[in-house]
Protein backbone atom coordinates (compact mmCIF):
# COMPACT_ATOMS: atom_id res chain seq x y z
CA UNK A 1 0.00 0.00 0.00
CA UNK A 2 1.38 3.37 -0.97
CA UNK A 3 0.73 6.41 1.21
CA UNK A 4 0.88 10.00 0.03
CA UNK A 5 1.06 13.13 2.11
CA UNK A 6 0.37 16.59 0.71
CA UNK A 7 2.37 19.70 1.50
CA UNK A 8 1.50 23.31 0.71
CA UNK A 9 3.51 24.60 -2.23
CA UNK A 10 4.37 27.91 -0.49
CA UNK A 11 4.73 27.00 3.21
CA UNK A 12 5.81 23.36 3.02
CA UNK A 13 3.35 22.49 5.80
CA UNK A 14 1.70 19.09 5.52
CA UNK A 15 -2.06 18.91 5.04
CA UNK A 16 -4.11 16.74 7.40
CA UNK A 17 -5.45 14.80 4.39
CA UNK A 18 -3.62 11.61 3.33
CA UNK A 19 -4.16 9.33 0.37
CA UNK A 20 -3.48 5.58 0.30
CA UNK A 21 -3.61 3.38 -2.77
CA UNK A 22 -2.41 0.03 -3.97
CA UNK A 23 -2.51 0.97 -7.64
CA UNK A 24 -0.15 3.13 -9.66
CA UNK A 25 -2.52 5.75 -11.05
CA UNK A 26 -1.17 9.29 -11.11
CA UNK A 27 -4.67 10.57 -11.99
CA UNK A 28 -6.02 9.18 -8.71
CA UNK A 29 -3.25 10.92 -6.76
CA UNK A 30 -3.88 14.19 -8.60
CA UNK A 31 -7.63 13.92 -7.98
CA UNK A 32 -7.01 13.59 -4.24
CA UNK A 33 -4.41 16.34 -3.94
CA UNK A 34 -5.79 19.42 -2.14
CA UNK A 35 -5.60 22.77 -3.94
CA UNK A 36 -2.16 24.45 -3.79
CA UNK A 37 -0.56 21.26 -2.44
CA UNK A 38 1.98 18.81 -3.81
CA UNK A 39 1.79 15.04 -3.30
CA UNK A 40 4.76 13.34 -1.67
CA UNK A 41 4.95 9.58 -1.18
CA UNK A 42 5.83 8.46 2.33
CA UNK A 43 4.68 8.63 5.93
CA UNK A 44 5.17 12.06 7.50
CA UNK A 45 4.25 13.72 10.77
CA UNK A 46 2.47 17.01 10.04
CA UNK A 47 2.96 18.13 13.65
CA UNK A 48 6.74 17.88 13.59
CA UNK A 49 7.79 17.83 9.94
CA UNK A 50 7.43 20.02 6.88
CA UNK A 51 9.01 20.29 3.46
CA UNK A 52 11.78 22.81 2.82
CA UNK A 53 10.49 24.49 -0.34
CA UNK A 54 14.01 25.34 -1.55
CA UNK A 55 15.37 21.78 -1.35
CA UNK A 56 12.11 19.77 -1.47
CA UNK A 57 13.43 17.76 1.50
CA UNK A 58 11.42 16.86 4.57
CA UNK A 59 12.81 18.65 7.63
CA UNK A 60 11.98 18.86 11.32
CA UNK A 61 9.40 21.49 12.17
CA UNK A 62 8.29 23.06 15.44
CA UNK A 63 4.83 24.61 15.13
CA UNK A 64 4.00 27.84 17.00
CA UNK A 65 3.47 27.53 20.73
CA UNK A 66 -0.27 27.17 21.53
CA UNK A 67 -0.04 29.18 24.79
CA UNK A 68 2.27 30.27 27.58
CA UNK A 69 1.16 27.14 29.45
CA UNK A 70 3.02 24.87 27.02
CA UNK A 71 6.65 23.86 26.48
CA UNK A 72 8.26 21.98 23.61
CA UNK A 73 9.12 18.33 24.20
CA UNK A 74 12.06 17.50 21.92
CA UNK A 75 11.60 13.81 22.62
CA UNK A 76 7.90 13.71 21.70
CA UNK A 77 8.23 16.49 19.13
CA UNK A 78 5.05 18.02 20.49
CA UNK A 79 3.94 20.93 22.62
CA UNK A 80 3.09 19.65 26.11
CA UNK A 81 1.56 21.37 29.10
CA UNK A 82 4.17 22.50 31.59
CA UNK A 83 4.57 20.29 34.67
CA UNK A 84 3.44 23.07 36.99
CA UNK A 85 0.24 23.55 34.96
CA UNK A 86 -0.49 19.81 35.08
CA UNK A 87 0.10 19.82 38.83
CA UNK A 88 -2.17 22.83 39.31
CA UNK A 89 -4.92 21.17 37.28
CA UNK A 90 -4.54 17.91 39.23
CA UNK A 91 -4.91 19.84 42.51
CA UNK A 92 -7.98 21.57 41.10
CA UNK A 93 -9.60 18.28 40.14
CA UNK A 94 -8.75 16.72 43.52
CA UNK A 95 -10.18 19.73 45.36
CA UNK A 96 -13.36 19.59 43.29
CA UNK A 97 -13.76 15.86 43.97
CA UNK A 98 -13.24 16.39 47.71
CA UNK A 99 -15.79 19.22 47.82
CA UNK A 100 -18.32 16.97 46.09
CA UNK A 101 -17.55 14.15 48.53
CA UNK A 102 -17.98 16.40 51.56
CA UNK A 103 -21.24 17.85 50.27
CA UNK A 104 -22.59 14.45 49.22
CA UNK A 105 -21.40 12.13 51.99
CA UNK A 106 -20.58 14.18 55.11
CA UNK A 107 -22.74 17.29 55.08
CA UNK A 108 -26.20 15.59 55.07
CA UNK A 109 -25.59 13.89 58.44
CA UNK A 110 -24.39 17.14 60.00
CA UNK A 111 -27.48 18.95 58.65
CA UNK A 112 -29.78 16.21 59.99
CA UNK A 113 -28.13 16.36 63.43
CA UNK A 114 -28.39 20.17 63.48
CA UNK A 115 -32.07 20.07 62.51
CA UNK A 116 -32.83 17.47 65.17
CA UNK A 117 -31.05 19.52 67.83
CA UNK A 118 -28.26 16.99 68.33
CA UNK A 119 -25.44 19.38 67.68
CA UNK A 120 -24.06 19.26 64.19
CA UNK A 121 -23.45 23.00 63.94
CA UNK A 122 -19.79 22.63 64.82
CA UNK A 123 -19.46 19.85 62.28
CA UNK A 124 -21.15 22.06 59.64
CA UNK A 125 -18.65 24.84 60.38
CA UNK A 126 -15.75 22.36 60.02
CA UNK A 127 -17.13 21.16 56.69
CA UNK A 128 -17.54 24.73 55.46
CA UNK A 129 -13.99 25.63 56.52
CA UNK A 130 -12.64 22.57 54.70
CA UNK A 131 -14.59 23.48 51.57
CA UNK A 132 -13.38 27.10 51.78
CA UNK A 133 -9.76 25.89 51.91
CA UNK A 134 -10.35 23.61 48.93
CA UNK A 135 -11.93 26.46 46.96
CA UNK A 136 -8.55 28.22 47.09
CA UNK A 137 -7.18 25.45 44.83
CA UNK A 138 -10.11 26.03 42.48
CA UNK A 139 -9.44 29.79 42.46
CA UNK A 140 -5.78 29.26 41.49
CA UNK A 141 -6.96 27.62 38.27
CA UNK A 142 -9.64 30.19 37.46
CA UNK A 143 -7.38 32.03 35.01
CA UNK A 144 -6.54 28.90 32.99
CA UNK A 145 -8.42 28.61 29.71
CA UNK A 146 -10.93 25.77 29.43
CA UNK A 147 -8.84 24.20 26.64
CA UNK A 148 -5.88 23.91 29.01
CA UNK A 149 -8.01 22.22 31.68
CA UNK A 150 -9.36 19.75 29.12
CA UNK A 151 -5.89 19.04 27.75
CA UNK A 152 -4.63 18.41 31.28
CA UNK A 153 -7.41 15.90 31.92
CA UNK A 154 -6.72 14.13 28.62
CA UNK A 155 -3.03 13.91 29.40
CA UNK A 156 -3.85 12.21 32.72
CA UNK A 157 -6.14 9.75 30.95
CA UNK A 158 -9.43 11.11 32.26
147 Cβ neighbours under 8 A, 6+ residues apart: none
Question: pLDDT digits over 64-96, tens only?
Answer: 999 999 999 999 999 999 999 999 999 999 999
Helices 121-140 & 107-115 angle (0-180, nearest 10): 150
Question: pLDDT digits over 42-70, tens only?
Answer: 999 999 999 999 999 999 999 999 999 99
pLDDT band at 117 (very low <50, low <70, confident <90, very high): confident
* 73 close to 63: Cβ distance less than 8 angstroms: no
Question: pLDDT digits over 2-38, tens only?
Answer: 999 999 999 999 999 999 998 888 899 999 999 999 9
Does residue 118 surpass a pLDDT of 90? no
Strands (E), 44-144: 49-52, 57-60, 70-73, 78-81
Q: What is the dihedral of CA 15, 21, 23, 24, to 10 degrees?
A: 20
Could you tell me the pTM of the whole model? 0.70
Amino acid sequence: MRRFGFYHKETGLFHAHWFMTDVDRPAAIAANTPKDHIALEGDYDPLSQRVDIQTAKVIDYQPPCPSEHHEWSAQAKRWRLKAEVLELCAKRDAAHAEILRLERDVQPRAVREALLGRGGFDRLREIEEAIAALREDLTRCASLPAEVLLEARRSRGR
